[in-house]
Amino acid sequence: MPPTLILVRHAQARHNAESNFEIPDPNLTEEGHKQCADLRQSLVKHPLAQQAELILVSPLRRTIQTALRSVDWLVEKGVGIEADADWQENSPKPCDTGSPIRKLIQEFPMVDFSKVDPVFPDKTSPAASHYHFTKAAILLRAQSALKKLYERPEEVIVVVSHSAFLRLAVSGYWYFNADYRIFDFAPMDEPGDLYRLEQHKSTKETGGGLSRSWIDPIVLGSDLPEEDPDAVRQGDERGY
């Protein structure tokens, strides 16, 4: 049986507070650390979170920091924390582009980076087409991420990721900073069907586990570009 997923958006980071998307791989703000405390308090009381057997994180600083400050009690119980590049944010802007793995290993030795795609943090080269900022690539990446989880043996998995990826590619719901939602996999009617999630009533009707997020769902793939706008702009500048 596929696992139940607790999907978490990271707490406030510098680029959120300053609306500056040129900050490379930003850290959490002081407010973000406070949000993590609220998130931790909610999760530590949640029966499903208590049953979590794996923590997955996007390999960006703000998601790793959020995990280590909100589900540290799971880590202390021996639950592993693994980084997976499939769960990183959509855009190739500096704030959404990760740091070299060698640096992250030094900063966060308790996180397992061994399975991170070697192409990370590249999101723009031909070799990194899986992470390009296009609707097709992002939706395909979400399916890849869900397929890996669908096949995992754990019963409950915590995933700490990003607002746009979770909203536009994975679940179709809003996530404000340090909020979370709980999902089960929808039944697969036919082999080859897309992986879909069905949200638990407890977070669907309240706007997230901390009731911080908008309730209304959105269409997966909406607002995602058919072509990478930066690549198109660069091509125009070069006369392509």
Report the pLDDT value the prediction gives residue 234, as an integer from 0 to 100: 44
Q: Which residues contact 108 (CB under 8 A, 6 or more apart)?
A: 64, 68
Task: Give the separation between CA 2 and CA 214, rounded to whole angstroms.
Answer: 27
Under the banding of pLDDT at 50, 70 and 90, the label for residue 233 is very low
Report the pLDDT value the prediction gives residue 70, as an integer from 0 to 100: 98
Read off the pLDDT of each residue in 38-59 and give the average, rounded to a whole number.
98
Of 188-192, 216-220, 232-236, the range with the lowest mean pLDDT is 232-236
CA-nearest of 50, 42, 8 to 155 is 50
Report the pLDDT value the prediction gives residue 192, as an integer from 0 to 100: 81
Catalytic entry in 10, 46, 130, 200 = 10
Question: Does the pLDDT value for residue 53 go beyond 90?
Answer: yes
Read off the pLDDT of each residue in 2-20 and give the average, rounded to a whole number.
97
Residue 162 annotated to the active site? yes
Report the pLDDT value the prediction gives residue 227, as an integer from 0 to 100: 86
Task: List, as one string, the DSSP characters of 47-109.
Answer: HHHHT--EEEE-SSHHHHHHHHHHSHHHHHTT-EEEE-GGGS-S--SGGGS---HHHHHHH-T
pLDDT digits (tens, 9 = 90+) for 103-143: 999 999 999 999 999 999 999 999 999 999 999 999 999 99
Under the banding of pLDDT at 50, 70 and 90, the label for residue 236 is very low
Report residue 98: phi and psi, to 5°.
-75, 175
Question: Does the pLDDT value for residue 216 go beyond 90?
Answer: yes
Under the banding of pLDDT at 50, 70 and 90, the label for residue 191 is confident
Task: Give the separation between CA 33 and CA 163, rounded to whole angstroms.
Answer: 17
Report the pLDDT value the prediction gives residue 230, as an integer from 0 to 100: 61
Report the pLDDT value the prediction gives residue 133, as an integer from 0 to 100: 97
Question: Does the pLDDT value for residue 172 go beyond 80?
Answer: yes
Tokens describing residue 232: 């198109």
Question: How many C-beta neighbours within 10 Å does residue 107 have?
Answer: 11
DSSP letter at 13?
A: B
Read off the pLDDT of each residue in 83-93 and give the average, rounded to a whole number.
98
Report the pLDDT value the prediction gives residue 15, as an integer from 0 to 100: 97
Q: Three-state DSSP class for 5? A: strand
Residue 10 annotated to the active site? yes
Read off the pLDDT of each residue in 86-97 and give the average, rounded to a whole number.
98
Catalytic entry in 15, 130, 132, 162 = 162
Give the sheet arrangement for strand 4-9, strand by strand: 80-83, 54-57, 156-161, 4-9, 180-185, 197-199
Task: Give the separation between CA 145 and CA 231, rounded to whole angstroms.
Answer: 25
Question: Does the pLDDT value for residue 235 go beyond 90?
Answer: no
With 0-12 CB in 10 A as exposed, 13-18 as middle and 19+ as buried, what is 9? buried
Q: Three-state DSSP class for 46? A: coil
Report the pLDDT value the prediction gives residue 37, as an integer from 0 to 100: 98
